[in-house]
Each structure stands twice: as C-alpha cells, then as structure tokens.
C-alpha cells in the first residue's frame, strides 16, 4: 500500500507544476507503467512518461544519433537503446565487481565500460529486452543503479585515494553513509528489476523525499584538501573534510554549486557552491537532510530550468537558506574552518600509502574502456582485475586507480599495464592527463557537438602547439562538453570548449587550477581553425611571460587578457513567485 507523504501538500505555486511533477505524483513511488513498457515487444522504446521515471532507476532511453537519418529514411523507428548508470559511492569497485561489470558490458552493451565524471560506470547501448538482465547482473554484483539519475540525491563522490591515510578511509565511510542515507525507500526497484515480491498490506513511503521526490537532481561530494579532484564547488552540497592534527574534525558545508546553463539565457548559469559553516561528523547527516528537505520544500517545481538548489538559494538568499537549514537541523552551524585547495586533477603512477600499500593511477581517455580500433583497454583492466586483490577507484576526472596493492604485486600489475597499453600516463602531455570530455554523440540526446569523440583529435593538434612552446609538461585543465549542460564541468576548465552546433564551440578561459574560480567566454561559437589560432597565440604568450609555477588560467587574468573576476554571482532569476511556502 502506498501512502501520500505530507511534503506533497507543501507545494503551492502561482504557476502550475511542471508535467514531470505530475508524472511523479501519479507514479506510485516510481512504478508508473515501466513494467508494461518492458514487456511490449512491438517497440524498442518505452513511453515518454515511463522514460522520465526510468531515470530514477538509473537508466535513460537513448537512440543512436549516428543512425537517426538513415533509419528515418528507411521509415524505421530510431535505434533505441538504454544507458545504465551504477551507484558506486566514492567510485569504489572490487575486482569481483569489476569482472561482473565487464561481463555485463561484453554481453549487453555496445561501447564497453565508461567511467563518468562522477566516479561511476555507464553502460551504453543496452536494448530493451536486456535491460532487466543487466540490472540483475549489477544487483548480483552487490551494486545498484537506483537513484543514479533522477530528481534525487545521486551518486556521492569522494576524493581519491582514501587508502592513503586512515582519515581518508574514514571520510569515504561518511561519503558512503550519505549515499545510503538518501537512497529512495520505494520497493518499486525491487519489484520491477529484481522480481521482488509485492507487499500490499504495509504502508510504503519515502521518509525524506515524499512522493514527489526532489524538484531536480541533487549532487553531493566530499573533498579532502588540498586536492579538489571532485570539484567540490560544483556540487549542490559540497563537503570539505577538515583534518586537524591527523584527525577528521568535521566538514565545511558548501551549498548551491551547479554547472548547467542554457546558451543565450542569462537567467541560467553555472554557480560555485557557497561555504556556510562547519559541522562535526556526528552532525553531518542531520545537516545534509536539512539541506535536502529545504530544497525539497522550496525548490521550483514549475520551471525545471530553475529547479536546482543554486536557484533556490539565489532566489531566497543565502542567509535565509542557512537559517532554514539550521532551523531544521535544530542547531547553528559553526563558523567554517580554514582550508586550502592547491589543485584539481588526478595523481598518476604509483603512490605509497601510510600503511605501506601502493596505488597506481592510470589515465583513461574520456573514461572509455572499450576494445575498439587497435586498443584493448577493456581487456587490459579485466586482466588486472583477475590478479588484483585490493580494489579499484574511479575518479571524477574519468581515470582509474588500481588501489591497495602490496609491494610484491606491483611488478605483475606493471607488466599488464604495459602489455595492454594502459601506461599512457608515463608519456602523455600534462594537458592530456588533465582533460575531461563528456560523452556527447552518438548517445547523448542533448549533444549539440562532439566531445568524447573529438577530444583525441583536438588534443593531438593542441599538443603540437604545446610542443612548439615547450609546454608539454605544463598542467592545464582542459574540459570539453557537447552542450552547455556541463557534464565535464567545463566552467571550471582553464580552457574549455562548450558545444553550440556540429563543429562549433564557445571557447571559455580562465578558471583556476583548483576548481575555485569559474571561467568566462572568450570567443563565441567558433570552429576548430579559430580555436587553434586563439590558443596558439595565448599559449605562446603564456610560455614567454608566465611566472614560476603560474597556471595558465591565473596567467590570463594577471596579463589582463581576461577581466578580473567579478563579485560572486547571485542574481535573482525567477520572475515568478517561489513555488513553495
Ligand atoms: Fe550530465 C544530462 C552524461 C555528469 C549536468 N548528462 C546528462 C545526460 C543524461 C543527457 C540527458 O539528460 O539525456 C547525459 C547522458 C550522456 C550519455 O550518453 O551517456 C549526461 N553527465 C553525464 C556523464 C556521463 C558525463 C561524462 O562524460 O562522464 C556524467 C555522469 C555522472 C554520473 O555518473 O552521475 C555527467 N552532468 C554531469 C555533471 C558533472 C558532475 O555532476 O560533477 C554535470 C554538471 C554538474 C551539475 O549537475 O550541475 C552534469 N547532465 C547535466 C545536466 C544539466 C543540469 C542542470 O542543472 O542544468 C543535464 C541535463 C539535465 O539535467 O536536464 C545532464
Ligand atoms: Fe550530453 Fe551535454 Fe552532458 Fe555532454 S554536456 S553529455 S552533450 S548533456
């Protein structure tokens, strides 16, 4: 039996709620008619409404955009398939899980395994009749896909590599606790995918979310200074672990980060999270819940483009938000503690932890592990998983750490890394090692331009420029996104390309190297020749005029090539009254 949750009654809007709110309300806690749709053999798709609910189960319906025109000509329905995303808190994967995930990829997906910018895996190209078997395979590997997408708290990301110290391991435990705390409680997932028993006489409710879940997606991440590898200020709720005298004292709380924007619409924008205070570990879940429920009750449920937490905060004011969170938590947040980030990006090569065990950082281009063309990266990591007894850690920069390796096992892992061409980290330019590119074409329905498939070609050309100016060892954050949604967090790239149309991008410049300053548009809507020309000149000047250890983004500001950053962006963007009281 399904019971209405009281949070639904909080919705009072001048504008009608969006269609998606209506779908959620009618869904019986995310069931909709997904099961019927899966059984309909006439089409490879499911209904639009169910497709929206399916996201909460960790899957998106897509179609192969490379084939769209041809199939239309042949009067066939689009080549539908599904992308599936796992929920792997902090990106931790055991070797057994790796082998199971790899089996799933070989059996059901068309493009191998894809490490995402939020430390998890996606499988692309799973056809409808295999969707259930894929979900079951992931479940059997002791993982899940629930709430990997949808208007809920998603995968909680965490700095890598926690095994470098006992305190880091503790921080990961908290990231996992957060992830578990916000998992939806609906039994729909079990019923639909795992053939779970339907229990009809017990009330079923979502104690945190209510039956409408959140107004929009919600993201949490925990960073461990001085490394900001997760881009903590891009999270709705970013937590900065404060380790003092070798002990975890607690977390600074940052709220309202987000990247998504729409071209040409200045009422939507990327925003860095604002630090509002400090909590002890014991207070963490209470405060996180207060943040989430405040957004649940005050977020915009009429206009989805303004529904992220960043707009709720900018609309009502940061001080109001903080007071509301404190009221719900039942205590005041302590003043934020001092912290310092000195960089983003991942560590590559072998690093030893304080317990003497080793961790090997491997560069994976755009996170794609796929046996294609002349590469066998998927097989290579599979072979490592067959001999590895520690675990793997996926990073938010789409890379991979073979973690927790005893000294005597290193040689064996190194041999496999070399054999299967996973040793690129030793020779690649520093820019390549600091590049992230979103998936974009052919699977992403929102892509306006290529990203993942364009990155290798672009990097090849940029490396020729870097070599000319002896900059191959200069770490420069490069981010590519096929549209302004910002899945590679391009607004935090020292150099970023944001797709506008096939072959055309906005060139954005000037973020810092530690994820604490947004970049700005330098040239709108330009094609590759102009991109290369602009970057050639700027990189030449940087090579000649940079100060010792000065990063490219900082140089552009100091040299006056970009304007100094303005005040923190807090425009009031909604023209309509707030949607909740
Ligand atoms: Fe994303 C939508 C891929 C991280 C902001 N994102 C999508 C979809 C699902 C397209 C869609 O809605 O139809 C993309 C699927 C492409 C495909 O074929 O796989 C997609 N996003 C990805 C991934 C796979 C990019 C990657 O190359 O790794 C990342 C998966 C993360 C994960 O494992 O959970 C991914 N997306 C991000 C990030 C980065 C982050 O979270 O750190 C962002 C920016 C941060 C943020 O959320 O503000 C991001 N994705 C978006 C948005 C814009 C949201 C907004 O507030 O406007 C959309 C579109 C939307 O939600 O309407 C989107
Ligand atoms: Fe797709 Fe745009 Fe995200 Fe790239 S940034 S994966 S094109 S939604």
Mutate which of 454, 483, 493 for ligand 2 pocket (most atoms within 8 A of beta carbon)? 483
Q: Which of 310, 382, 483, 489 is catalytic?
A: 483
DSSP string, 157-203: EE-S-GGGSHHHHHHHHHHHHHHHHTS---SHHHHHHS------SS-
Ligand 1 center–CA 512 separation, angstroms: 22
Check: CB of residue 209 under 8 Å from CB of residue 6.
no
DSSP string, 279-296: E-HHHHHHHHHHHHHHHH
Both tokens assigned to 563:
């304007």
β partners of residue 121: 115
Helices 309-316, 318-329: axis angle to 10 degrees equals 110
Structure token pair of residue 46: 């499911």
CB 90 within 8 A of CB 176: yes
Cβ of 485 closer than 6 Å to ligand 2, yes or no, is: yes
Per-residue pLDDT, 240: 98
Cβ of 270 closer than 6 Å to ligand 2, yes or no, is: no
Environment class of residue 540 by beta-carbon count within 10 Å: exposed (0-12), middle (13-18) or buried (19+)? middle
Per-residue CA distances from 54 to 23, 110, 389 (Å): 12, 20, 35
Q: Is 480 in the pocket of ligand 2 (CB under 6 A)?
A: no
Query: Is 407 in contact with 378 (CB distance < 8 Å)?
Result: no
DSSP output for 383-439: HHHHH--SEEEE-TTS-EEEEEE-GGGHHHHHHHHHHTT--GGGTS-HHHHTEEE--
Candidate list 31, 111, 154, 433, residue with the active-site label: 154
Phi, psi torsion values for 372, nearest 5 degrees: -140, 155
Is 149 an active-site residue? no
Expressed in percent and rounded to 5, the helix, strand and coil fractions of the chain are 35, 20, 45
Q: Is 154 a catalytic residue?
A: yes
Ligand 1 atom nearest the C-alpha of 120 is 33
**DSSP 3-state of 92:** strand
The protein residue with its alpha carbon nearest to ligand 1, atom 39, reads: 487
Burial of 455 (0-12, 13-18, 19+ CB in 10 A): buried
Catalytic residue among 217, 368, 376, 432: 217
Give pLDDT, residue 202.
65
User: pLDDT truncated to tens, each residue of the chain (581 aa)?
Assistant: 333 433 333 344 568 999 999 999 999 999 999 999 999 999 999 999 999 999 999 999 999 999 999 999 999 999 999 999 999 999 999 999 999 999 999 999 999 999 999 999 999 999 999 999 999 999 999 999 999 999 999 999 999 976 677 889 999 999 999 999 999 999 999 999 998 766 666 668 999 999 999 999 999 999 999 999 999 999 999 999 999 999 999 999 999 999 999 999 999 999 999 999 999 999 999 999 999 999 999 999 999 999 999 999 999 999 999 999 999 999 999 999 999 999 999 999 999 998 899 999 999 999 999 999 889 999 999 999 999 999 999 999 999 999 999 999 999 999 999 999 999 999 999 999 999 999 999 999 999 999 999 999 999 999 999 999 999 999 999 999 999 999 999 999 999 999 999 999 999 999 999 999 999 999 999 999 999 999 999 999 999 999 999 999 999 999 999 988 765 443 333 333 333 32
CB-CB contact of 469 with 426 (8 Å): no
Atom 2 (ligand 2) nearest CA: 483
Closest atom of ligand 2 to CA, residue 499: 7
pTM for the model stands at: 0.95
Rg (alpha carbons) of the chain, rounded to whole number: 23
Residue 285 backbone class (left: φ over 0; alpha: ψ -120 to 50; beta: rest): alpha
What's residue 354's pLDDT?
Answer: 87
Cα separation, 432 vs 369, whole angstroms? 17
Closest listed residue to residue 299, CA positions, set 220, 221, 212, 232? 212
Q: How far is the CA of 485 from the centre of ligand 1 (A)?
A: 7
- 238 touches 268 (CB < 8 A): no
**Residue 58 CB coordination number (10 Å):** 27
**Active-site residue, from 149, 158, 396, 438:** 438
Quote the CA–CA distance of 137 and 144 in Å, as a whole number. 9
Residue 338, SS3 per DSSP: coil
Ligand 1, atom 57: nearest CA belongs to which residue? 260
Q: Is the CB of 120 under 6 A from ligand 1?
A: yes
Q: Contact, 505 vs 494, CB < 8 A?
A: no
Ligand at shortest distance from the CA of 268: 1
Question: How far apart are alpha carbons 255 and 258 in whole angstroms?
Answer: 9
What residues contact 261, with CB distance under 8 A and at least 6 apart?
A: 268, 269, 270, 484, 485, 486, 491
């Amino acid at each position: 039996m399904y019971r209405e949750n009281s949070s639904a009654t909080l919705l009072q809007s001048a504008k009608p709620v969006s269609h998606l709110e209506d779908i959620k309300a009618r869904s019986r806690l995310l069931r909709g008619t997904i099961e019927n749709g899966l059984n309909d053999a006439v089409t490879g798709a499911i209904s639009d409404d169910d497709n929206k609910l399916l996201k909460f189960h960790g899957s998106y319906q897509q179609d192969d955009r490379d084939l769209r025109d041809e199939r239309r000509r042949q009067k066939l329905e689009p080549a539908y398939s599904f992308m599936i995303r796992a929920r792997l808190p902090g990106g931790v994967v055991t070797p057994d899980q790796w082998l199971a995930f790899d089996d799933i990829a070989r059996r059901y997906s068309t493009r191998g395994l894809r490490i995402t910018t939020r430390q998890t895996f996606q499988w692309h190209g799973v056809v409808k009749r295999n969707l259930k078997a894929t979900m079951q395979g992931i479940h059997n590997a002791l993982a899940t896909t629930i709430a990997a997408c949808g208007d809920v708290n998603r995968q909680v990301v965490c700095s890598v590599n926690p095994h470098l110290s006992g305190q880091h391991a503790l921080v990961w435990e908290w990231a996992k606790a957060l992830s578990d705390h916000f998992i939806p409680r609906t039994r729909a997932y079990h019923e639909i995918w795992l053939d779970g028993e339907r229990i009809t006489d017990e009330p079923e409710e979502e104690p945190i979310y209510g039956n409408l879940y959140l107004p929009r997606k919600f993201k949490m991440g925990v960073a461990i200074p001085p490394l900001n590898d997760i881009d903590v200020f891009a999270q709705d709720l970013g937590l900065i672990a404060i380790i003092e005298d070798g002990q975890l004292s607690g977390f600074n709380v940052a709220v309202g980060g987000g990247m998504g924007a729409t071209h040409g619409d200045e009422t939507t924008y990327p925003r860095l999270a604002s630090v509002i205070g400090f909590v002890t570990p014991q207070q963490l879940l209470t405060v996180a819940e207060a943040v989430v429920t405040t957004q649940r009750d005050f977020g915009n449920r009429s206009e989805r483009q303004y529904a992220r937490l960043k707009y709720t905060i900018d609309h009502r004011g940061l001080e109001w938000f903080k007071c509301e969170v404190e009221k719900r938590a039942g205590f005041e947040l302590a003043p934020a503690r001092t912290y310092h980030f000195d960089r983003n990006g991942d560590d590559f090569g072998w690093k030893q932890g304080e317990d003497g065990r080793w961790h090997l950082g491997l560069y994976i281009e755009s996170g794609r592990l796929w046996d294609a063309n002349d590469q066998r990266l998927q097989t290579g990591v599979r072979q490592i998983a067959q001999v590895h007894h520690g675990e793997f850690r996926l990073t938010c920069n789409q890379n991979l750490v073979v973690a927790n390796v005893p000294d005597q096992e290193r040689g064996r892992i190194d041999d496999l890394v070399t054999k299967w061409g996973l040793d690129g980290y030793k020779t690649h330019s520093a820019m390549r090692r600091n590049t992230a590119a979103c998936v974009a074409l052919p699977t992403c329905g929102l892509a306006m331009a290529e990203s993942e498939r364009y990155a290798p070609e672009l990097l090849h050309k940029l490396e020729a420029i870097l070599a000319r100016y002896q900059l191959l060892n200069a770490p420069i954050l490069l981010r590519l996104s096929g549209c302004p949604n910002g899945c590679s967090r391009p607004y935090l790239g020292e150099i970023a390309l944001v797709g506008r149309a096939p072959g055309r991008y906005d060139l954005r410049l000037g973020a810092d190297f530690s994820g604490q300053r947004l970049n700005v548009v330098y040239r709108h809507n330009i094609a590759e020749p102009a991109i290369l020309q602009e970057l050639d000149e700027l990189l030449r000047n940087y090579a000649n005029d940079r100060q010792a250890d000065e990063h490219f983004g900082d140089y552009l500001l100091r040299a006056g090539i970009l304007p100094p950053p303005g005040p923190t962006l807090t425009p009031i963007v909604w023209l309509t009254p707030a949607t909740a009281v």
